[in-house]
Amino acid sequence: MECIEGLRTPDRGAISVLGLDPFNDVYKLQERIGVQLQQAQLQKRIRVWEAVDLWASLCQKNAIDGERLLEQLGLLDKRNAWFMTLSGGQKQRLFIALALINDPELVFLDELTTGLDPQARRAIWDLVRGIRERGKTVFLTTHLMEEAERLCDRVAIIEHGRIIDIDTPQSLVNRHCPERTVILATDDLTAAERFRRIPRVEVVICGDSQFTIRGQGDDLVTEVIHCLSENRIRVTDFRAILPNLEDVFLKLTGHSIRD
Amino acid sequence: MMLRGLWKLTWIEIKIFLREPLGAFGTIGIPVLVFVVTGRIVGHSLAPASLAASSFITAGLPVLASVLIAISAVLSLVTIISIYREGGILKRLRATPLRPQTILTAHVVVKLLLTAATLALMVLAGKRYYPIGIHVPLFGFTMALVISTCSILSMGFLIASIVPTARFAQPIGAVIMYPMIGVSGLFVPVTSLPPALQAVARVVALTYAVSLLEGIWKGDAWLAHVGDVAALAVVFILCTALSAKVFRWE
Digit-coded pLDDT (tens) for B74-90: 888 888 888 888 888 88
pLDDT digits over A80-120, tens only? 999 999 998 899 889 988 998 988 999 999 888 888 888 88
Which of A45, A60, A82 to mutate to probe the B interface, most B CBs <10 Å?
A45
**Nearest residue on chain B to A3, judged by CA atoms?**
B95
ipTM: 0.75
Is B81's Cβ below 8 Å from some Cβ in A?
Answer: no
Distance CA A88, CA B126 (A): 49
At A152, is the pLDDT very low, low, confident or very high (cuts 50, 70, 90)? Answer: very high
CB count within 10 Å of CB A255 equals 7
Per the CB < 8 Å rule, is A82 touching B87? Answer: no
Of A5, A37, A45, the CB nearest to B19: A45
How does residue B137 score in pLDDT terms, banded at 50, 70 and 90? confident
Residue B234 has pLDDT above 90, yes or no: yes
Interface mutation target, options A25, A26, A57, A103, chain B, most CBs of B under 10 Å: A57
**B109 CA: distance to closest CA in chain A (Å):** 17
Spatial distance between the Cα atoms of B240 and B234, rounded to a whole number of angstroms: 10
What was the pLDDT predicted at B192? Answer: 79
> What's at B107, amino acid-wise?
H
Q: What domains sit in chain A, N to C, each tagged with a CATH number? A: 26-141 (3.40.50.300), 178-242 (3.30.70.250)
B87–chain A Cβ distance below 8 A for any pair? yes
Contact status of B3 with chain A (Cβ, < 8 Å): no
Q: Which residues of A touch B4 (CB under 8 A)?
A: 57
**CA neighbours within 13 Å on the CB side: how many for A26?**
18
Residues of B in contact with A39 (CB under 8 A): 88
Q: Where are the alpha helices (DSSP H) in chain B?
A: 2-19, 23-24, 30-44, 51-55, 61-86, 89-94, 100-126, 138-162, 166-183, 195-203, 205-218, 226-246
Q: How many CB pairs under 8 A join A and B?
A: 57
Q: Does pLDDT of A2 surpass 80?
A: yes
Give residue A167's pLDDT band: very low, low, confident or very high (50, 70, 90): very high
Contacts of B96 in chain A (CB under 8 A): 30, 55, 58
| Chain A interface mutation, best of B12, B79, B101, highest count of A Cβ atoms under 10 Å | B12
What's the pLDDT score for residue A166? Answer: 93
Which residue in chain A is spatially nearest to B95 when comparing CA positions?
Answer: A7
Contacts 24+ apart (CB under 8 A), A65-72: A66/A97, A66/A101, A69/A97, A69/A100, A69/A101, A70/A97, A72/A127, A72/A130
Helical H segments across chain A, by residue range: 26-32, 48-57, 66-72, 88-100, 118-133, 145-151, 169-176, 191-196, 220-230, 245-253
On chain A, the residues whose CB falls within 8 A of the CB of B95 are: 5, 7, 30, 35, 37
Nearest to B12 among A5, A50, A58 (CB): A50
The average pLDDT across A151-156 equals 93
C-alpha to C-alpha distances, B10 to B3, B95, B248, nearest whole angstrom: 10, 18, 21
Q: What is the pTM of this model?
A: 0.79
pLDDT of B45 = 54
